[in-house]
Structures are given as structure tokens and as C-alpha cells.
Chain A
Amino acid sequence: MSQESRGVVQGKLDMLILKTLALEPMHGYGVGLRIEQISKGVFQVNAGSLFPAFRRLERQGLIEGEWRATENNRRAKYYILTKPGRKKLKTEAREWQSQTAAIARILEATSGEL
């Protein structure tokens, strides 16, 4: 049932949501759609993973919810990145980049470099 395991690296969904919301405030469906689009369909995030994550991030004060009208004039809860959220995203992203870079170096290593 969970597509999270197929898509997003365990524990990194929060970071992706924060990043998406850093671009612009967005409602739940929009966040899922945006992640799918930007990842070119590699990551598919469903409601079952999104909503607990929203609740978690909201509780941590990293995002805030606000009811707004959509472009099509529907009411939807938009999530907005807060200041602590922005800071958190920065540190998470930096950490992730240094980790992936390190992993890449290890994967590309040849015996001559040792």
C-alpha cells in the first residue's frame, strides 16, 4: 500500500516537503503533485504518508497551516514554511548533500585511489 518505500528515501520525506513549501505555500495535494513532477515521477507520495508528515512538521513548528482559496476557488489548507522550518531545511539539505557526495565518492572509488 505504501509507495513511500518505493519512492522517497526513508526519513527524507520531511525534507522534500519543506523544500517544496520553500518554493511557495501549497496545499496537501499540491505538495504531493509537485514532488512527483519535480522528481519526474520517481517519487510518488500518497495521502497516507503526507498527512502524518504535515501533522508532525506542524507540531514541530516547521510549517503552519492556513485555510485559503485555490486558483479554482476551492477552500484548501495551505502549508507555509516558518522561519525555523527554513533553517531546518538549510541544515538538512547541507547534511544530505555532504552525505550523497561522500557516498558518490565511495561508489566511484577505484583501487588506485586507496
Chain B
Amino acid sequence: MSLFRIIGGGLRALFRKQQAERDLDEELRAYAEIAVAEKMQAGMSREEAVRKARLEMGGMEALKEDVRDVGWEAALESFLQDVRYGMRMLRKNPAFTAIAVLALALGIGANTAMFSVIEAVLLRPLPYSNPHELARVASTWERGGITTPYSSSPPDFFDWRDQNRSFSSMFAYRAGEYALTGRGEAKRVRAVIATAGIFSTLQAHPALGREFLTEENRKGADHVVVLSYGLWQAEFGGAADAIGRTIELDSEPYTIVGVMPAEFFFPLPGSDAYVPIGFDDKVMTQRGAHFLQVLGRLKSGVSVARANDDLAGIMAELRKLYPGKDGKWGVRADRWSSALVGETRPALLVLLGAVGLVALIACANISNLLLARATVRHRELAMRRALGAGRSRLVRQMLTEGLLLALLAGAASLLLAHWALGLIVSFGPKDIPRLANVGLNGAVLAFTMSVSIACAVLFGLIPALRSSALDAAGLVRMSISPSGEAGRLRSALLIGEVALSMMLLAGAGLLVRSFIGLRSLSPGFDPKDVLTMDVSVPEAHYKNSVAVQNYWEEVITQLRSLPGVRSVAATTPLPLSGDDFSSSFRVEGRSVPEKDEPSAELRWATPNYFRTMSIPLRKGRAFEDSDRLGAARVLLISETAARMFFPGGDVIGQKINFGARGGYEKNEGEIVGIVGDVHHFGVDAPVPPTFYAPLAQAGMGGATVVLRAEGPLAALAQSARKLVQGLDHDVLVGQPMPMETLVSGSFGERRFYMMLLVAFAGLAVLLAALGLYGVISYSVAQRTQEMGIRVALGASDVQVVSMVMAQGLRLAGVGLAIGLVLAMMLKSVLKGFLVGVSTTDPATLSVTALVLLMVALLASYVPARRAARVEPMVALRFE
């Protein structure tokens, strides 16, 4: 049969429905008449013939229904009919509809929001062509069996780039910051400083002008810049003649050679400019200078595993050539999309799992509501069944009603999700890449739609099957006295809800406890009342250590004179700022082969730093004002470093010599004191062994000012910034930031996950409480008569209330017990997220159970009160 005929016949039938109906009626009447006539001819009486004919034809309505069911239009039509009928039912019970839609919308909305985050952070392809070919190549440093990824050194990068057979191109870059000077007050420019291959590897090309040339990667030829679209707009108003003009970065002229398109960003949104790395001949031999990020584009068809084999081969050769330096260094390639996301991925997936449970609880809730309503609707179903509706027709109808409900909820959930995403973006930590790009888009809509439909099937199927399983007679009986089976089913669903909420709440509780534990840990200094402010001194103005030393002395003297300032110092890199500096070193008098030299973190600080930050001095002395250029070079050592490198205790007086240079001067000196440990990388991260050198003796240009204040920091912040800016307009002064913000920022990701899980658990508990309330109220309503009799026979209020509440608590109790077991099974899921708390922490679990128990008490108390207020006479007249 041709498709044309199938569609045409169906459409004709749809549009000429009434005629077809009349036709069918007439045909059936004619059939009956002929049948009667034939039977009378065969000798039956008229009555007998009519009776016989009717018997033979069977139920007329059922027959017509069977005829109507032929053809596709019948399915569509019955669906539309179901939709209309369903809408009517939903409108007729606005309270039921509102509660169901709200509960479901909460469940689906949480899922929509969570999926939006995952879509933006994990699923959305990177905005470069063929992003799956991009791979991060990183050095690895192996120590004590643990391999950690590391930045790469220029010579390693060039060897990888030139010797590999797996990558079509490769480039190296580092993040940098410049002060945009010479145009009034200095502005901060976030730059990517990269080798010439950056744009060709990313397959992204300037909208205006040209890319970097290879020779621009030599020191001296590197003063060109490609602007981001944003900076071009902001500084040049989008003028095409910006190409060829000059801007001043850190007071040095850079020629603008290109402008990137508006949609381009690298490596994350927010880069303002791209500048070539100028390598000098010296850096080309420094295999230990690990400061580059490397990104390559795999040749098509080359897997990451093959690239890794290739690189490992190159590295093995290099180790032979340079045995001293590369002994413990390796190399490793990872797909960039996953390298970028890193540890965020498992956390987000756990949260998606949690939010899925919330949806499940919401579904159980609606299922329960529908089951309760189905008991009321049995009469209606029995009627429809008696009138010839088949079982599948009833199931279809009830599922359609569920679908309507779910789609309504899905639409409402988009509003909730939109609102939730606003919160997530504004409160989300900055270290989750691309979180700011989150939004409702096609993929999210499709997800919400699928979840809604899945929910409809999930919550609609049980009640639909149950009601339709009964034949007409059974349904009529059911409508008179409901069976216990429905009650058991509803109790089981409720127990499931409580169990799942218990599990979620326990998980959230553990995260909260772990977080509180973290907050109470000390970072090793006192962040309260401390203000920080980055200051970058352009090399062009301060060409030597003396100039730098004088600048810093001036800044600190001036700042100290501000009212409300108790003490001032400068340091770099600042703890918890994300920056760090480490170097290998030699201890004078110990002869150790170069490749076995220990390495440690190195910090620079002005004399007052330890007092300002309240970092305790353990032994010897701190820095003093006399520790300047020209004086004897001194160093301080952290407790951990002292223990690690001088287990004998003979620390003070040791002479240390670092391989790396910080500022203009070499880093070496005699240890004069031991100071307390500082959690530089995060309160929950291990304490690194650290040395401190005086800022002045190192000739460091850029550092962070730290101010300890009395009184509000906000007022001080602006006056401090103005003051430093006033000293030299070409110095880049960052936005002042309270040290406490940095401390809490270092918990950002943890707090974000904790808050989300707490929100989800809260939702789960709310839904479970609603469910419990619903089940108990319903059972109270059904037992009104029984209550009346009890009251009439002398049961007191207290007895009735406690009887009803006992029912609720029994259900909740079983749920709690199951939930407790489930919570214990969370171990492997939560282990990575907890610090200092066991996954079976008894305190947390008992508090969780107690909270849920209280909620259960409340949810069953309200209907129990109502039961106790039943008037015996009213109750007995009921029904």
C-alpha cells in the first residue's frame, strides 16, 4: 500500500469524521435489519430474531471502537482525545495539579540546572576546529612513585616539537600580565605569551592583520602584539587602522600586528592580548626552567596513546643526552578537553547522580499521589471499561495524563533552572572552567524534555497498570472498598523516598562536616584584617636592584602612614594566590651530584611580612631593615623544610645557594631563623618546604603588598590603591583584596559542591516530607469512620494522635534504616571529597537521621491532629 494512500486515507477520515460515523451507524443498522429479516424468513418470530441478531452482533460501542481503531489517524485521535480529557482532569483538580507540578518541577529543575552546568563545563566542544585533535603535552616529575604533571622547559618543548611524528603542530605558552601604560592610569592586560605556532595549531586566525612570525620568538624581535577583539574595541573603538600602531605594555612599545575575531578565546575566556615569547640563547639551554604550557594538534588518525609512546621515546633519548637534568622528568600527553576539566569531572558527575535521585523521589511522590487518586477514580475507570474501553486504551489515557503533568512541570522547571543558574554563575568558583558560559540551550532543552518524559513513564506506569489490570467488576468493587494492596504499594514508594533522602542528606552532611573541619584549619597565618594588593613595577623604569629597593621602601613607608594601618609588608608569591616559585638548591658543605639536588619553594618578603601575617618565628631571628642590598645575604626556612633538609637540627647558620634567579640578584644566603609553616597551595593541600629571602636582596620588581589594618578594610583599600598609583602612574596596581577572601576562595570549589549537594538534599527531604504528609493525610481521610468510632468509644486525643503518628513513624523508620545502609555504601563515591571525616562518621549519620525523624514527626503530626478532631457524629454519617 502506498504511503500516499495511507496518509490520504487517514486525513480524509480525520476531516470527514462525522460522515464516516454516520456511515458506520447506518451500515450497522442495515446489517441488523438484514439479519433480522433473514432470521424471520428462516421462521423465527420477530422478537426472537431481533434478540438473536443483537446477540450475534455483540456490544455495539466496542465494535464501533474496533472499526475506528483501524488506521493511524485513530491512534492520533485517541491521543488528542486523551490530551483533552487529561487537561480537563488537571483543571478539575487544581490543588492536585499544582502540588504535582510543583514537586515535579523542583525535581526536574534541579536536574536541568545540573545538566546545564555539565553541558557547559564537560560536554560542550571547545570552540576550535577539530578540538578532539588538541592535546596538552606536559612534563611529569616523578618522586616517590608519584607522578605529577609539570610545566615544560623551552629546550624540551623544541625537542618534542621537532622530533615527534604524531603532531602536525605544537606551540608553547604561558599566562602573563602586563600593565597597559602610556594611556592614563595603568590598566591590567591579561596576556597569553606564546610561540608562533599558537594560531595555526588552534586553527584560528586573526580577523585583522597577521599572526606571529617565527623570528618574533627571539628576544629583541618580540615586541609585537595581537589584540583580543574586546581590547581592540575598548582601546581603539574597533578602528581598522589600529594595525601597525603601538601600545605600551609595562612601559615598552609593542606594535599591533593583528586582532582576533570576537568569538575567539584562549585558553579560557578573558585573555586580552597575545604576545610572542622572546627566547634568548641562554634559556634555550636551561632544561630545568619549567614554565611553559604546551599544546599540540595530533595528526588526524593518531591516538593520544600513540602520541604518548612517541613522546616517551623522545624523552628516553633526551635522558641519555642530558642525564644530569632529566633523570626524573618524563612527558605525557592528554586530550586537552579532559586536561582542562581535570578533577571537576568526577565531582560534577557525582552531583548529577545526586540530582537524579531527587528526580526519582519526585517521581515516587507523584506516583503516590496518582495512586491515591486512582482509588478515587476507580468508579470512572470501571465505567469506561464497561463501556468498552480496552486495557491498553486506559493505560494510554493515564500515561497521557502523566505526560501532560510532566511536560507542564518541565516547562515550569526551566524557569526554576534559569533562576538557579543565575545563582550558580554568581556563586560558582572561578576555578571551574567555562562555568560562566552556562545557560539554557538546545541541548539542555532536549535533556529536560527527555527527563520529563522519562518521569512521566516512571511515575505514571505503576498506577496505570494497577488500575487497568482489574476488570470492570473488580473496578466497581474497588471503588467501594479499596484493597490493602494499593496501600502497601504506596507505603513501599514512601519508604523508598525516605531512604533516598536519608542517603542524600547523609552525603550532604558529610560534606558539610568536612567543610567545617577545613574552615577551622589554620592556613599558617592570620588572614583576618589583612588586605592584599598586587603591585607590578615595570622593568623599563626600574632597571636595577637599587631602584627596585628604593621603590619598595618608599611604598611601604607611605602606606604605613595611612590611618588605620597597623603594619605593612610586601611578599611574592602570595600564599593562596595560585602563583608559586620553586627551585633546586645546594647546601654549602654538602657535595651532592647536581641531579640529586633537593628542591624547595622560594618566597621573597620584606622585614615586616611575618609580623603582618602573624606567621610565628620559631627560632633565630626574622628579617630586619638592615637586610638590604650590600649587607650579608640571609634566608629564613620553614619548619617543614628545616625538618626535611636538616633532620639533625643544625639549621641556623647553614649556607644555601639556589639555582634559579628571582629578580635581578642571585638567591643565596645564610639561614638566620625558622618560621612557621604556611599552607601556600590551599588549606587542605600539603605544606610545601619553603625558604624566604629578603625582597630587597633579590631585587624583585613585582610583589604583593600586605596590610594589617584596624577598622574596616573597604575604606582603606581605595586610599591605599590611590596612594600607590600616585607614586608612579606606570606601576600596575591590582584591585585590593582581603586575605580572607583568598582563604575562602581556596575552598571555592569545595564550597560550591557542598552547597549544591545541600540544596539537593534539602529538596529531597522536602519532597519526602510532602510524600509522607500526603500518605498519612490520605489514610486519615479514609479512616475517618474508624476514627469517629474510636473517639465515640472514648479514645482520647492523645491516643488518636499517637496512633496516626505511629503509622507515619513506622514508615519513616523503615526508610531511615534502609537509607542508613545506603549511606554507608556511599564510601567509594564520597571518599575523594571528604577531608578529615570518615564516610561512616557516626555523628553525622545520627544527626542526619535525627533531622529526618523530626521532619517525619512534623509531616505526620499535622494529619494526626486532624484525625483527633474528628467529630464522632460527622464521621459516622460519612459515606
Contacts and interface: CB of A to CB of B under 8 A. Distances in A.
B34 A47 contact: no
Given A1-B58, A48-B57, A74 B67 contact: no
Interface string A73-90: 011110000000000000
A72 to B, nearest CB: 6
Interface stretch (A15-23, A26-34, A91-99, A106-114): A26-34
B69 A52 contact: yes
B58 A72 contact: no
A28 to B, nearest CB: 5
A55 B70 contact: yes
A54 to B, nearest CB: 8
Interface string B28-41: 10110111011000
A59 interface: yes
Nearest to A3: B56
Nearest to B66: A52
A5 interface: no
Given A33-B38, A47-B63, A72-B37, A59 B70 contact: yes
A51 B63 contact: yes
Interface string B827-866: 0000000000000000000000000000000000000000
B9 interface: yes
Contact of A75 (B30, B63, B70): B30
B56 A46 contact: yes
B58 A29 contact: no
Contacts of A60: 1, 5
Tier of interface size on chain B:
20 to 34
Contact of B63 (A48, A56, A61, A65): A48
Most buried by B among A27, A47, A51, A61: A47
B70 A61 contact: no
A70 interface: yes
A48 B23 contact: no
Interface string A32-76: 010000000000001110011011100111000100001010111
Contacts of A72: 37
Main secondary structure of the interface of B (DSSP, over half): helix
B30 A48 contact: no
A74 B38 CA distance: 12
Given A46-B57, A61-B5, A51 B67 contact: yes
Nearest to A47: B57
Contact of B34 (A1, A46, A55, A74): A74
Nearest to A44: B56
A58 B62 CA distance: 20
Nearest to A84: B1
A27 B63 contact: no
Given A46-B57, A47-B57, A51-B66, A28 B5 contact: no
Contacts of A59: 5-6, 9, 13, 70-71
B5 A51 contact: no
A29 B38 contact: yes
A77 B23 contact: yes
Contacts of B58: 1, 46-48
A77 to B, nearest CB: 5
Contacts of B27: 28, 51, 76-77
A1 B70 CA distance: 20
Contacts of B33: 74
B34 A27 contact: yes
Nearest to A51: B67
Given A55-B67, A61-B5, A28 B62 contact: no
Given A29-B34, A46-B57, A61-B1, 6 more contacts: A47-B63, A55-B67, A59-B5, A59-B6, A59-B70, A77-B30
15 contacts: A29-B30, A47-B31, A47-B63, A48-B58, A48-B66, A51-B63, A52-B69, A59-B70, A61-B5, A70-B34, A72-B37, A74-B34, A76-B34, A77-B26, A77-B30
Question: Which 9 A-B pairs have CB atoms at the shortest separation, nearest pair first?
Answer: A29-B34, A55-B70, A76-B30, A47-B57, A52-B66, A77-B27, A59-B9, A51-B67, A55-B67
